[in-house]
Amino acid sequence: MYNQTCSLLLQKGEVMNGEQLKIKTKQGRVVYGSMISIGRNPRWTKAISDLGLDYVVIDMEHAPRGRAEVADYLVAIESINVVPIVRIPIPDSHYATMALDAGAHGVLAPYCETVDEVKEVVGACKYRPLKGEMVKRAVDDGIFPSEESRKYLEDLNKNSVCIIGIESVPAIENLDKILDVNGIDAIFVGPNDLTISLGIPNQYDHADYESALREIIKLCQGKKIPVIIHHQTVDLTKKWIKEGARFVLHSSDRRQLHQGYRNDFNDIQEFGSNIMGEKSKAIGESTEVI
């Protein structure tokens, strides 16, 4: 009954939190989000509040952010009915629990390659504050200190979205086993890291890259786990939605800021240069790699 109620509210656009985001993806629907790479002040959330986003990922892997400022940002994002997810620096249980304790509704653990790494993150996301041997028993065998503890932990962590980064050849080779770990809510692909691992840096139209993505999507579809591919262009994002990526993570705040200014100022500078009889200098694409 609760899930049915959440589904109805989602259709009306009235609520969105980590639990509802998971319900939406389990229904096979598309969810839309973007990466926050430079935004630091909570007031930045006003700029994204009316974009129709389901979620945002606050980057802590490549962006220089502290725990306290992320906590303030998380509260601000939650207030605009957008699900806040934190990309932690490494696949580590302590980073995961710190993000969730600060108010994140989910964690994206980058560059996971082994089942043990994934289990550590899943245990932190799904069963915090359980630690040590107890959380290992919960993840490996579904054994809890008591039935009361199990219910308490599941309720406490019901909003926690656990996203696992598959960004290398060894990760793909282990993906079938990784997907057997219960508690994974989505698989994330970082195109820059993956193409480097494949030996074809940033060649997003290369046959080897496309083949790798299709293999990831196929394996994940078999386990009913949605795939996120963090592309930076509209054409690539649309292409891989068509190919089966339903958890859409498009571009970043920095890239979109650059793109907006770029489009306007290329037009304005070309116009001004024509009036002055000068050659216009075009502004290039963003060089951000995240």
Report CA-CA distances (Å) from 77 to 57, 61, 199, 229. Answer: 10, 19, 37, 22
Report the alpha-carbon distance of residue 44 to residue 84 in Å, rounded.
13
Burial environment of residue 49 by CB neighbours within 10 A (0 to 12, 13 to 18, 19 or more): middle
C-alpha–C-alpha distance, residues 145 and 91, integer Å: 26
3-state secondary structure 111-180: CCCCHHHHHHHHHHHHHCCCCHHHHHHHHHHCCCCCHHHHHHHHHHCCCCEEEEECCCHHHHHCHHHHCC
Count of CB atoms situated within 10 Å of the CB of 74: 21
Active site positions, annotated = 62
